[in-house]
Every structure is written in C-alpha cells, then in structure tokens.
Amino acid sequence: MKKINLILILIFAANTMVQSQNTNDEQPTPPPMPQFTPEMFANMPPSMLLQMPVEFLENLPVEVREKMPKLKAENLAKTPQMGWNSWNTFATNINEELVKGIADAFVSLGLKDAGYEYIVLDDGWMAMERDAQGNLTPHPEKFPNGIKAVADYVHAKGLKFGLYNCAGSRTCAGYPGSRGHEYQDALKYAEWEVDYLKYDWCNVAPIRETADKIAYAREAYSVMAQALLAAGRPVLFSLCEWGDNDPWKWASFLGHSWRTTGDISNCFDCIENHGTWNSWGVMQILNMRDQDVLRKAAGPGHWNDMDMMEVGNAGLSLYENQSHFALWAILNSPLILGNDIRNMSKETLAVLTNKNIIALNQDTLGIQGFRYKTINDSIEIWAKPLAGDEWALLFLNRATRPAEFTFDWRTAQISDAFFNKEILFSDTNVYKIKDLYAGKELGDTKKPLKAQLDKHQSLVIRLKK
C-alpha cells in the first residue's frame, strides 16, 4: 500500500510540473523529474495505469515502462504477430469453407512452418443483430456450424484463431459493435476459444468528437482490455483506431499492437478516394506518421501495425511486393497476410515465406528500423539493428525509373541514438553482406556496394561479422 501511495505522490508531482510549465512561462526551471525505477511500480495493481496521465506514461524511461504491470495477457507477441486476415481480399464475403481452406493452405504451403500462426476473421462474421439475451451470434448462412467449429478446425492444425469487433455501437460494415457489451462479448470469445481480437473504431460518436479524444479512445480500449483479462483466456489484443488518437503513447499498456494509419490499398504509391474516406498505398502508409516517434513506443509485446499486407494482390508488381514485405519486416509491423493464399503465384509464396526477410521482423531484439538517409534523390535507406550486433539495411528505389547507386561504407555513420546502437565500418571492422532476396553473398564492407534497382525495387541486406 505504501508503494502505491508513493507512486501517486510521484505522479501528482510530475503532473503538477507539467501543468506549471504550461500555465506559467515565467516559472523558474522546474525541478528535475524524479528518477523512476521499475521497483517503484512492482506491486501496483494494473488498473492503476488508467489513473496515470498519457503524458506521464509516455515519458517514463523504456526500462520502467517495459517492467510495469500491464492490462493485457503477458507473453504474447514477443515478436510481431504473423497470420492472415480476411478483409483485404474478401471484405464481408467470408464463411466456414474459406477459413478451412486457409487453415489447410497454411499447412500445405509451408506458411505455418515459416511462422504464420493466426487466422483472423475480420468484419462480417456475425448475424446483423444480437440474440434476445444480447449475445453475439455467428452469421447463420456463413457459419452454419457456429464459430467454435471453425476455431476447433484451426486449432486442430496447430494454429490460432482470431475475430474482429469494434469499440462503437456498430462495426464499420454495420454489424453489432461491442459498446456496452464488452464483458459479455469477451466471455463469448473465451467460450469459442478465440486467441486474437482486432478491435476497430467506427460508430464511436459522440466519444470520438470530445475535447479529450485521446483519453476517450484510451478508455474505450481499456474497457475491452479489462473484459478480455476478466474472461480469463489469453487473447492478443490488436487495436485498430488508425492512429487517430496517438495510440503509440498509451496502447502498449493494454494491447499488443495498434494500427498507425487508415486502411491500406492494393497499390504501391497512390491514394484511393472513397468519398468520405481514403485508403492508402504502401508508400503513403510508410510516410503518414513520423516513424522516428513511433519506433520509440514499439518493442516485444507491443508493435506499430502498418495494416494487413497487400502482398500478392493485383496492383503490385513482384518488386513492389518484395519492397512492401521487407518494409513491414524492417519496421516490425505484424506480418498479416491479406491475399487469397489458396490461389497465389509461386513468386508471391516465395516472397511471403522468405525466411531471411521474416527473420528481420522476428528478431528477438525487437527494435523497429529507421530511415537512415536518401541518396541519389530516390534511393531511401532503412536500417535495423539486430540481435548479436548484426544489422539489416534496405535500399528502396522510390522512383518510377531504374536507378543506380554506390554506397561507400567508410563514409557511413549509422547509429540509433534512442536504442543506443551503432555500426562502424573500417578496414579492421568488416562485415559480410548477404542479399536476402537473391539469397547470395555480396562480398564485404571493405569495398563500396554498387547496385542497380528497378522501379520500386529494394535491395535488402544483412550485415554480419
């Protein structure tokens, strides 16, 4: 109890400091922030998180944040989750046969062996209305044997099963939302043995329009987080409020991933206008937020989600598919397939099961990559520190024409100040280079790296001693 009081006093002090900074510009330099340690929070009931202002949580040192008790199932998504979601290809046209076919393909095509685990039904799995007791019920024609039957089928293959719902009164496609039914729905998911919940943000007015919209979003998501915990089955909680309420500041305490943008579209570099909303190409998703800010919030158990992938869908070339997949890997986004994997080309399968690229995403260090610099006007270089002092680099040609580049290692200074990582190149500090899509060695960092990249093509390499 004493510790909790101490924490409250510290929070109050921190808050007062923030307020006094805001209201009185002439105030002398505020006293330094107290030094928080994980021990101070060790016995804190997780529900106390909800009393802590977002700014306070956001500014805690990473090592304290990581060790604080959380309002979510622990030990899930220690590396970004991998799986398949129905929305990008099938929208609400989903049914029992589709789920079974996808589960079969996971096994027969080697996707399960490559690490893909979750099969998630997005919007449209429910009947249009709840039953007389207020329970969600499966859509009678799409799922005549119920949801538990499909979950059982998926589980029997050694895979995990997920569903979608929404924090509003209705889902984005107009099916019953969870608002006011959170605990009842969480119990139903536990009964059906659901392992994953994607939770959307449609039909939430008036909460969305309030002055403190961040606080309201956080509260709406925390109700569902607590309901899932109370229901007792560990569920991976995937938030989907499109980055509208800065989830990277607060969601890591109650969820395992949060969407950072609006919906992806099956194009590399375009904006699709749907009247009241837009969907976004791969490049638009990449650029929409300041990745340098977002990456500070990500780590084992809590990831920035750049949306389900469009790899393999019409609209993207092979090189664009490769770049899209590698960018999602390097930015530690969940790798959620969004294509019809039962009918995909050999090239698409090769991209999606490239174990060298997947290994970047699943690296145990869990550090999200960053944009290092742009050279020759169009070659954007992304870098990612990996476990064992290895690094990944991605050279993306953003231009619509081929481009060449020469990269001289001796002039490169690649460092990650936030996570305290640096790679130095010299005649005595030499790394071997592996091209991860071609699967071949490219010499070492003694000589400059030269390459030619087609429109939207990437060279993805791993540096290793």
Give the interface segment with ligand GLA, choosing from 59-67, 73-81, 170-178, 220-228 (CB under 6 A). Answer: 170-178
Note whether 340 binds ligand GLA by CB under 6 A: no
Nearest approach in angstroms of CB 216 to ligand GLA is 18
Q: Which one among 40, 54, 60, 173 touches ligand GLA, defined by CB under 6 A?
A: 173
Of 96 and 263, CB closest to ligand GLA: 263
* Cβ atoms of 396 and 382 closer than 8 Å: yes
**Quick one: DSSP state of residue 248?**
G
Judged by CB under 6 A, does residue 241 bind ligand GLA?
A: no
Contact between 123 and ligand GLA by CB under 6 A: the answer reads yes
Interaction of residue 96 with ligand GLA, rule CB under 6 A: no
200 binds ligand GLA (CB under 6 A): yes
Work out whether 240 is an interface residue with ligand GLA (CB under 6 A).
yes
Contact letters for ligand GLA, residues 60-89 (x by CB under 6 A) = ---------------------------x--
Cβ-based nearer residue to ligand GLA, 182 or 200: 200
Class of residue 42 by CB neighbours under 10 A (exposed 0-12, middle 13-18, buried 19+): exposed
In the complex, the smallest distance separating the C-beta of residue 88 from ligand GLA, rounded to whole angstroms, is 8
The strand ranges marked E within 102-233 are 118-120, 160-166, 196-200
Query: Smallest distance from the beta carbon of 465 to ligand GLA, in angstroms?
Result: 41
Residue 120 makes contact with ligand GLA by CB under 6 A: no
Asked if 122 touches ligand GLA (CB under 6 A), the answer is yes
Nearer to ligand GLA, 202 or 433 (CB): 202
Q: Which of 195, 263, 307, 363 is catalytic?
A: 263
β partners of residue 57: none
Cα separation, 98 vs 143, whole angstroms: 10
Nearer to ligand GLA, 122 or 416 (CB): 122
Give yes or no: 263 in active site.
yes
DSSP assignments along 5-46, one per residue? HHHHHHHHHHHHHHHHHHH-TTSPPPPPPP---HHHHTT--G
CA nearest neighbour of 334 among 294, 301, 307, 295: 307
Rank residues 182 and 263 by Cβ distance to ligand GLA and give the closer one.
263
**264-283 as b/e: b if 16+ CB within 10 A:** bbbbbebeeeeeeeebbbbb
Total residues at the site for ligand GLA (CB under 6 A)?
Answer: 10
Cα torsion at 253, 257, 260, 262 (round to 10°)?
-130
Q: How far is the CB of 349 from ligand GLA (least distance, A)?
A: 24
Which residue lies nearest ligand GLA, judged by its C-beta? 172
CA distance 255 to 269: 30
Is residue 143 involved in binding ligand GLA (CB under 6 A)? no
290 is annotated as an active-site residue: no
Q: Which is nearer to ligand GLA, 242 or 425 (CB)?
A: 242
CA end-to-end span of the chain: 51
| Alpha carbon distance 181, 241 (integer Å) | 19
- Candidate segments 100-108, 165-173, 265-273, 452-460, binder of ligand GLA by CB under 6 A: 165-173
* Interface with ligand GLA, residue 195, by CB under 6 A: no
Residue 309 in contact with ligand GLA, rule: CB under 6 A: no
Helix and strand numbers (H, E) in the chain are: 15, 20
Whole-angstrom Cα distance, residue 419 to residue 62?
10
> Of 123, 195, 200, 305, which is the active-site residue?
200
172 touches ligand GLA (CB under 6 A): yes
Rounded least distance, CB 122 to ligand GLA, Å: 5
* Sign, CA torsion 213/85/77/237: positive
Interaction between residue 114 and ligand GLA (CB under 6 A): no
Question: Is the distance from CB of 194 to CB of 233 less than 8 angstroms?
Answer: yes
Name every residue whose Cβ is closer than 8 Å to that of residue 372 and which is 6 or more positions away in sequence: 381, 382, 383, 393, 414
Q: Say whether residue 442 binds ligand GLA (CB under 6 A).
A: no
Site residues (vs ligand GLA, CB under 6 A)? 87, 122-123, 164, 171-173, 200, 240, 263
Q: Which residues are catalytic?
A: 200, 263
